[in-house]
Each structure stands twice: as structure tokens, then as C-alpha cells.
Structure 1
């Protein structure tokens, strides 16, 4: 259907062989490949980072909150512009989500000043998302959390490989949470990772991802354990060996793939920066951070043109999307949230995400941008 899809997998025969090897080995649930993936991901992030691979980015976020006993009576501050998973996991713990606005129409990350004014004596944690792969103002946010004794969780779903002052995103807060969903920079279809510098925290999360059991099936399979104890309540948030094997291959490709994404973004900006009807966030980013260029969002100056704009590109075979609808507008939440975040809401009404993936060509970018120019010339 699409001449140029929103994203495409950065896969080749290496992923095919990795999956085939797992199938030949005949062990599918979390095992040696998972342990290897955790080890390699931790080494990639650097420092003394410990990792727990899980079934999704949402599972990672949920476990992060549960591991610190976030629950009823607590408040968790999240960005007003993020995927609904951040909102859902807070609600599912019984805590109250509190929306904080983003910085500006040029920087769509959560505003440290907005976090500060939302802190109450019930606030227990802050979840920041490095939107589109651009790191948040982590020094300010980290100091704010430290001075108020708040748990700082990085939703790094957009940001594997992104850096802030030479630190990898996912290693700067207390806990990092990654997603390996199909459209992510490192893709295993489903899957995620929890990261932390505190080994005891990751040990607890590893128990929680597998029913609170003191041994896993792989341990009993290899004769390392006969039975198990249950030392805390847990869930089944395990990743499997196929996804872990894919993750190992994708990790090897990550830096080169991110570099390709960055070049595509630069080509987009060169084409689009002179169109007065389009605004590009992070066009002049701070020099102390490097993006992973997860998505390429633009802001239309006139919100009433968005449907026509997306339809015009669709007619030419170009897929677009919206990252993200306003959370206050979701049917389930609009009656109970009522937390206006003016800048985030404006972005939600006007933004469009254009295709971005490592396999895109210069001709792809030319085609997309020419269609955008043509659209506005005829308005």
C-alpha cells in the first residue's frame, strides 16, 4: 500500500540466522540468550549498569513503579506529551498521574519548571520521556528529584543510543525503561529492558518479572534448582529467547542505524526549514546532547489543515502518523483527567510524524518534501 512507510525494519539475514539458531536449540522462554542480551545491553550503556529484559516497554515502566512500592495515595508526574503507556502504568498501580507541560514549540520534552510546580507532598516519582530521541534537561530534573526525594524514571523508548553530556539515556535517572517494539530503533517486535545502577533493584525486578519465583524454568532445566520459593508478588513479564536473539543482532547495528537516521533528519531539515507553514522542533539543539532520531515530527502552523495534509501524502503513498494524541481527549481519561497542558495540547493538535527509518534513501526524502511543498503551494 505504501510507497514510503512510516518505518521499516532494519533486518537482514543476521536476524534470520539468530531466530533459526534459537529454534534449533529448542529453548524458547527466557534463558541463555536473554542473559546475554542483558549483559551486552548493559555494556553498551556503559558504567555499572545492570539490566533486566522484559516483555515490553510498558512492562518495564510498570515494574519500575512496582519495585519502589508506588501505589494508592501517591502521585507520579509524567509528560503531557507521551505515549499512553506512561499514563496507564501509573493508573494501574493505583497512583494518580499528574501531567506536566513541555518546554516549548521548539523543544517538546517535559519542562523542569512545570515539574517543579506540580510537586506536592504526595509526589513519589517523575517519569520523563526523551521525546523523538532528544534527551531531556536531565541535570535540572535530576537535581529537582534529588532535592525532593523523588524516584526519577527515564522512559527511554525513543532514545536507545542517545546521549546527554556523554551519558547514555536510560542511565541518568534512578531507573531506565526501554521499548523494543517494531517501530523502535532497536526492534524485536515486542520486548523491553529495565536498567539501573543499583544491582539490588534489578535483582528485585528480575524476581517480579517472573511471579516472584526464586528460580526460573531454565534453572530447573539445567539442574541448577529442583523447585522454587515465592518471595514477593510478581507477574509474567518475561521476554523470550527469540526476541533476545533479535535484540543482540539489533544492538550491533544500533549506532550505525542511528547515524543513518540522523542524516535523513538533516536532509529533511534542509528541504523543509524554509516552508513558512511548517515548524521543526530541535532544529537548533543544545550541543551537549545527541539524539537517537527515533521519529521526525513537524508542527503545522494551522491545525485545521492536518487531516488534509495527511490525506494528501496518503494519496501519494506516503504514510504519516501522530505522536501523540492529547491524553486528556482519550475517552476513558477525559472525564477524570482534566489537566490542561497548553503547549503539549497544541502540539498534539498540530503535529505530524513523517517517515523515518535507516533504509530510507535521498530520493525518498526528496519525494516526501516535494509533496509537502506542493501541498502548501496550492493552499
Structure 2
């Protein structure tokens, strides 16, 4: 179906095309100088010591978990209201995901109080996912982690340049992971990044992403090394220079894009006031600068059948929507792990993601909200 207003809009132009052509003409298209430049720029943007390019955010999460010492049989507390990769990467190691409920219908992030209640002697780490780019309660979560000697990994795939009390998301825990998937704020088609201030973590991630090798082909091509060792069994999780070239262009557009999204969100909040008795608007009271990756709403006094019917009526009017997310613990592969997350289940049955991108006009937003009103 062709939509009058799609869910998202790719922020590409001739600059990305030029970057790809220049990279091809350089005769170096695998991991190399553009990846190094991309990592340097991203580290500066977030104010961290190390940024390591990855093939995608799922591989970033996998190596982040390994780098902080998660092992087979460990328990890792994580949200169920997230993309399945957050939990899949835990299972790659043979660790157990322990699903934790959200704060409430106004805050779709993992609950700090419920994290503490879920801790057992087997708990090794906490994984937070900053929903839509809005920050979790990191002060409380970091205090809990310190109290119980737990590691903290931030799944910041929704939140490049989002802030929590002046700190960039992804830089508060020991490791932060970002996604550059096609519909993210920064898009390279596939791609991701790990950030950290821990030198030991950075060294291990760099080794693991390239088969556990001590040097890579680009370093050897520059004459800095002629041989290498393999110090542990690693993976092929590298990014390539073509995607890195696109990422560098996208970095240059990011701040302006996010500033425009802030204004789009303000227009949404104004238009949605008349629906306060019908919907929750999560994070409506947020005062932090955030990426506004998506715009979620949650229907009140509803169920999954009603939500799906509302979406169908909105689509018939020409507005594309989505659902973020099907709860992970309900997937067949995760049912054996169990979960007591009633608020997550209500949200996953009644959430609707409305279009969110920088080029949405006031007229577009009014049309979207009017379509929502009529559909409810």
C-alpha cells in the first residue's frame, strides 16, 4: 500500500551518494581509513575515549556482553519491551535473560525498582534500552549496579545524542551500543557502534570483532605489521568503509535533524491534548534533549483487537503506523524463560507508533492526529 504519510523518511541526498563513489574510487572498501575517521568523529560527538564500528547493533550487543564478562549460565536483567536483539545477544553466550517490567504507561523504560527485585546470586549484568531515545533512570540503575556489583550495558540504539542530566546516552554504563539500521536516526543500511571509556573493554571488542586477531589487513597494508596472532576465538563483526563513509555524512546531518524532530514532537503534543482521555503519550513530561527516534502512543481501556482495528482504520486514511514492540517474552523461543510483566503486556497490545521524522509539517501532524481521532 502507498501511504500519504509514511512511518519514516530516509534522510539521504547526493552527499551520501558522493561519499560512496569516492570510497569506491579510493580502492579501499573494507574496514580502513573511513572506519577510523567514523570512530574518531563518533567518540568526539559523545565525549568518550573509544568508539568501535560494528556490522550492526546486534553484534555490538553480543561483544559488549562478552567484554563485560557475561558467561554461560549468568543471568542478565533486561526489558521485554525491546527489539528481540537485546535478548538474542544474551542467548548467544548461553546466559539467561531475566525480563523486567517497565516503569509505567507514561515511561516505557525498564523500571529501576523492578530491576532490584529481580536480582539473584546469578545476576551478572543489567541491560537498559532507552525507549524512543528517552533516558532510563540511570542514577537509580547505576546505584543498584554498584550496590550489587553488576555490569551495565546501554542499548542506546534509539538515542544518538540523547541526554540524561548532561551526559550522552550510551556513555553512562560501562558500554553503550548504537544502531545504524536503515530506519534509525543515523542510517547506513546496516551498521552499529560500541562506545566505552574502558580501555580493556575497547581492546577486547576490537579483537573479537575481527576473529580475535591482533592486527587487521588495513594495518598490515600500511606497513605497520606483517603478521598477526589470534589470541581468542573471535567473530567477523567488522563494518566496511562504504558504510562508514555514509555514516560520516549522516553524523554531519544529525544535530539539525534532531532539532527539527524536537519541534515535530512539540506539535504532536499540542495536537494530542484533546485525546488525553483516550491515550497515554509516553514521556510527555520529558525535559531532556532526546533523539525522538519514534513517537509512541498507548490506547487507554483497550485490547489488542481494538488496537489492531484502530491501526487498520488509520492506514485506510493513508497514514502508516507500526508497533514497538512485540514483547520478547511472548516469542516461542523465549516462553521457557517466563516473565511477570503485566504493564509490558498491556503496552505491547495497545501501543501505536505514529510517523516521526524531521520533514513532517504542521499540516501533516494535524492530518495524522485527525486520522487517529476518527479511527479511535
Paired with 2:314 and 2:16, the residues of 1 have a C-alpha distance of 32
Q: How much does 1:5 deviate?
A: 1.2
Paired with 2:79 and 2:273, the residues of 1 have a C-alpha distance of 27
TM-score of the two chains, using structure 2 as the length reference: 0.97
Paired with 1:328 and 1:203, the residues of 2 have a C-alpha distance of 33
Aligned length: 372
Q: How much does 1:370 deviate?
A: 1.4
Are residues 1:15 and 2:16 paired?
yes
Structure 1: where are the runs of 5+ without partners?
none
Paired with 2:205 and 2:65, the residues of 1 have a C-alpha distance of 10
SS in 2 for 1:178: strand
- Name 2:307's counterpart in structure 1: 306
- Name 2:152's counterpart in structure 1: 152
Q: How much does 1:374 deviate?
A: 1.8
Structure 2: where are the runs of 5+ without partners?
none
Deviations 1:308-350 (A, max 9, x none): 111112112211111001222212222x122121111111010
- Runs (4+) of structure 1 moved beyond 6 Å? none
Paired with 1:350 and 1:174, the residues of 2 have a C-alpha distance of 33
- Name 1:81's counterpart in structure 2: 81
Contact 1:273–1:280 under 8 Å retained in 2: no
Q: How much does 1:241 deviate?
A: 0.5
- Name 1:116's counterpart in structure 2: 116
- Name 1:239's counterpart in structure 2: 239
Map 1:182-193 → 2, pairs under 5 A: 182-193=182-193
- Name 1:107's counterpart in structure 2: 107
Contact 2:75–2:124 under 8 Å retained in 1: yes
Contact 1:31–1:241 under 8 Å retained in 2: yes
Map 1:196-215 → 2, pairs under 5 A: 196-215=196-215
Q: How much does 1:7 deviate?
A: 0.8
Deviations 1:256-315 (A, max 9, x none): 111111111111111112212222111112x4x322111000001112321111111211
SS in 1 for 2:7: coil
Deviations 1:90-149 (A, max 9, x none): 111100100111100111111110000111111111000110110111111011101111
- Name 1:283's counterpart in structure 2: 284
Map 1:121-132 → 2, pairs under 5 A: 121-132=121-132
Contact 1:328–1:340 under 8 Å retained in 2: no
Contact 1:133–1:293 under 8 Å retained in 2: yes
- Name 1:295's counterpart in structure 2: 294
Q: How much does 1:17 deviate?
A: 1.0
Are residues 1:332 and 2:333 paired?
yes
Deviations 1:50-101 (A, max 9, x none): 1110000001100001113312220000012111111111111100100111
Paired with 2:63 and 2:289, the residues of 1 have a C-alpha distance of 28
Contact 1:51–1:195 under 8 Å retained in 2: yes
